[in-house]
Chains A and B, each alone.
Chain A
Amino acid sequence: MTSTLPAVTTPQVPAQRQAVPETRSIGRTDPSNRLRRRSSRPDLILCGVLLVAILVVQGWNIADYPTLSDDEGTYLAQAWAVQEGRGLAHYTYWYDHPPLGWIQIALLTWIPAALSPESMTVGTMRAAMLVVSAVSAVLVYVLGRRLSLPRWAAGLGMVLFGLSPLSVVLQREIFLDNLAVMWTLLAFALAASPSRHLWHHFGAGIAAATAVLTKETMLFVLPAVLVTMWRHSHRDTRKFALTGAVTACVLIGLAYPLFALLKGELFSGSGHVSLWDGIKYQMTRPGSGFILDQGSGSHGVLHSWLYYDRVLILGGLAGGLLLLVTWRWSVTARALAGPSFAVVILALVAMRPSGYLPAMYVIQALPFLALVLAGGTASVAHAVLRRRRSEAETRYVTGGRYALAAVLAIAAGAYVVPRWYDGDRTAVTADANAPYQAASKWLSTEVADPEDTRVLVDDALWLDLVHAGYEPGRGAIWFYKADLDPAVTKTMPRGWKDLDYVVASPTVRRDAVELPNVKAAMEHSTPVAVFGSGEDRVEIRQIQTASGGVR
């Protein structure tokens, strides 16, 4: 008779003869007890302390560093459009990304935006990302524990995830990837639920689908979620759990094409945007070259990541490799199969020779790199302290083990701490956005009648202008829409002559080369105010008509 439930890996026919329930509620009390045991007080304290540290480092100076990114402006402006009831975007929504990401941003920023509409600007609303970071960081800890990492290693994973200078920079920004990471981590945590509850696995499928609908690149990580679920489900209930999860994921995922279908925009056709065209655009984006090829765009992106932090990326990859190699002997390696798998997939995808590698790509790998590095560390620690250790071992040998462990820990600390200190100090002290803020102030105070003024501006400043009274879409114009959106081009029949100002931020200067209207506007304008200097300067340029006057 098998009186207790066998472990997941037991090959015997399990639990064939468990007792008839002694009380009616046996099925309810059992797992919840287990859960209670797992979220014990030391866990709460450790996780809480680390969370405070992460929030302080990530939150301090969040609005001023890093430099406002164009994409942040895009997503926040679209979230603003959702809040204002203007649809999914204030321009035509063209299926560039599934809209769930900025719908969530809209929800996150709903209350502050309602209390103070002017706060709906990129710098201020970065604060909302702290919520996302906090949830993700806690989930990394929970997942680490659920994948049977010791407490310290789970804590290490959380620190790596939340305090690496690379994470601090990227997680502060309003990127869809950060939200998608949160949902993916939730999917992993549910997949590894210790109670192995059918509806937890079902929920994991829903969370995974939400992650994909937040940022479609999360699709790559789904197999790793499935692996985690397979390992953590019981063989008696596995088929229900896995099919439940897959079904939930697919059905929720189908909501997106269904949405397009209901709007009559599933397939391409003349006169309207379509999901098909959106996917085609994303799939045919020009590649950025092979990542290890010096001089390719991808290589540059890799360098920008390594500039912020080498430890997490190279250490994480090394940790993944270590876990793969020690698969046969190491329990930790097997327990971390899911995150290792995710790291491997994401690394392989990044190595595609012809793919497009955006700078945010690394965001979705951060939690897995952190967990795998923490797991690798735990594996090494175990090997040093416990491996082949017997009762009879002399005190000197044991002392030697601890000495070695201490030396390794100190060496690692000596390498990591100064670098991270520098990186994180920059993050909490640097002011990278002064030119933007000054430009925003100038445009809201120095222009006589904003209602009738037309400005080409990049997405990061767009909401500032809207709050200053410029007309969204027609007055305050996303600069590239002047060339790419027929609806906008139509409103300026005389081209650049119908404009008043161009806010030439680094992004605008970079892209103007390929956008005729923007380029012409740049050429026929003179700076009236310049903030900052060098490459990062922001110029406000006034359009000069041929007669030498302004419009």
Chain B
Amino acid sequence: MLTSVFIAAVSLALFWMAAFTLWWQMHAWRTPEVLASTRFSRPDGGEHVSFSLLLPARHEQAVLDHTIQRLLESTHTDFEIIVIVGHDDPETTEVANKAAGRDPRVRVVVDTHEKKNKPKAMNTALPHCRGDVVGVFDAEDQVHPELLAHVDHAFRTTGADVVQGGVQLINFHSSWYSLRNCLEYFFWFRSRLHLHAQKGFIPLGGNTVFVRTDVLREADGWDPNCLAEDCDLGVRLSSVGKKVVVAYDSDMVTKEETPGSLMSLLKQRTRWNQGFLQVYRKKDWKQLPTFGQRLLARYTLMTPFMQAFTGLIIPLNIAIAVFLDVPVSVAFITFLPAVTALVTFVFEVVGLHDFGKQYGLRVRFVHYLKLIVGGPFYQVLLAGAAVRAVWREQRGRNDWELTTHVGAHLTSAEVTRDLREDVPA
């Protein structure tokens, strides 16, 4: 009897968790109107916002110049690019200085912190920003030339304090995990973030994010001790009621690549999870005005850990139901979480199809197969990252394990070598 009640309770809890996650994941496709509203509106030609684009680069001389050139091709007329390099990184500094020499819109700021990380670098550059809006990009980003004009328009027409553009991993064909990784980004930026913007609680992304300079200075920039400074900034800003607008256009997203190896994906995910944990423990989200928002915050920041938990518990639960002698009704309930998992699976398959359509990429049957077969393994990876994050946080290790980039989203002629390395602990 007690076993039955326990199993039923666990199953129902898992069911509701999975159901809510699914509900939020599918936010953008709820109605055609919602889907249409997730896009940028067409710029009207007027330009009233000036941009300071931060480009932190560390051992990224191979991709940096390309990124700067592409940014300079923007149709917007009023922006500056601030490349942030480390004092101990002469190769990247050289590339940056060359670019600055060619175009007056490019400036270089040197970060002299002994221990380096991205928030520190960006805080170093913040006092030098002259634009009305600070934008953040990564050194390997491919930015669409019309993005700034669209963001400008979005700022003016919505009165937003923050505009988050879409970021999309694109190299789904590289490996089984990159497929799932790409799809995660797709669902997150295409759909879930919009829900967060609507609900007034949003963990921002790491790049293609634009914040009004005064708002950013008022908030004292980024938290240099947080491993997920982007998420933290979003949480702090939305917690004090700043307006965040999210827009996703498949031809306007910033294209990125998945981490080059399973290990670096694990490290990246560990860092994010640990970052989420830190943001949770900072408790800024407690200032959110409504109970629902606080609940959403709590849930979102804890998601990685619940994900790990559910991945392990669902099979266990069903095994118990099948092999132990429980009433049929209880056995039925234990299948509920599996049902939501299955529905999620199906929507992922459809999502992959839509992803292919949106980006004009050919998704083959084998990719769908990989998606399905890889699902459980990816779940294990996520669980591993979650456990690792808790362990590291417990041990007080909060240094950066950076992600390696190989430029898989660029053609091979553009990038040949991988020079960026993880910062040693």
Contacts and interface: CB of A to CB of B under 8 A. Distances in A.
Contacts of B243: 24
Given A20-B154, A247-B346, A198 B39 contact: no
Given A20-B158, A234-B32, 7 more contacts: A17-B41, A20-B40, A21-B245, A237-B31, A237-B32, A243-B349, A255-B332
Nearest to A19: B41
Interface stretch (B226-234, B279-287, B335-343, B372-380): B335-343
Contacts of A262: 322, 328, 331-332
A198 B42 CA distance: 26
B33 A5 contact: yes
B39 A20 contact: yes
Interface residues of B, number: 39
Contacts, number: 109
Contacts of B199: 24
B26 interface: yes
B414 interface: no
A31 B35 CA distance: 13
B27 to A, nearest CB: 8
A284 interface: no
A389 interface: no
B197 interface: yes
Contacts of B412: none
Interface string B150-161: 000010011000
Contacts of A27: 30-31, 33-34, 37, 198
B350 interface: yes
A198 B26 contact: yes
A434 B42 CA distance: 76
A1 B43 CA distance: 11
Contacts of A251: 339, 342-343
A24 B197 contact: yes
Given A21-B37, A234-B32, A237-B31, A243 B247 contact: no
B37 A19 contact: yes
Interface in B158-212: 158, 197-200
A244 interface: yes
B36 interface: yes
Given A247-B342, A247-B343, A199 B39 contact: no
Contacts of B350: 239-240, 243
A216 to B, nearest CB: 20
Contacts of A5: 32-33, 36
Contact of A199 (B30, B158, B342): B30
Contacts of A21: 37, 158, 198, 245
Nearest to A263: B328
B32 A15 contact: yes
5 contacts: A18-B37, A20-B245, A31-B31, A248-B343, A262-B328
Nearest to B346: A247
B347 interface: yes
B354 interface: yes
Given A20-B245, A236-B35, A251-B339, A243 B157 contact: no
A18 B41 contact: yes
